[in-house]
Amino acid sequence: MGWEKSDKEMRKRKAGEEMRRKRGGGGGAEEEEEEEQQQQQQQQQQQQQQQQQQQRGGGGRVEEEEEEEEEEEEEEEEEEEEEEEEGRLRRWRG
């Protein structure tokens, strides 16, 4: 189940990147590198969380829900940061 969720998130993120590229007309190598680093960090976090769950013997339903909420909050924060960065880049370019 955890893998299905991460696959879904990766597809969603890639679709978002494609849209940004089309809107932004390229975006530059630095921006792509930053996004790749963020993706790698997020994947590492998810893998660590999955390993921790397995070590605890699956944890409990409540812990799982709390972790999902934390992940969603982190994703929202990352999206906000990306939007702010995009805004700065647009102002800088235009």
User: pLDDT tens across 53-94, in order?
Assistant: 777 765 567 778 888 888 999 999 999 999 998 888 888 887
DSSP state of 58: S
CA angle, 58 as apex, 54 and 59 as ends, to 5°? 115
Report the alpha-carbon distance of residue 78 to residue 26 in Å, rounded: 20
- pLDDT at position 8 is 77
| C-alpha distance from residue 79 to each of 2, 38, 40 (Å) | 21, 11, 15
**Across 8-12, 20-24, 42-46, 83-87, least confident range:** 20-24
Residue 94 corresponds to which tokens in the numbers above? 């235009």
This prediction's pTM: 0.34
User: If pLDDT is split at 50, 70 and 90, which confidence band does 23 have?
Assistant: confident
Report the alpha-carbon distance of residue 26 to residue 41 in Å, rounded: 23
- pLDDT at position 26 is 52
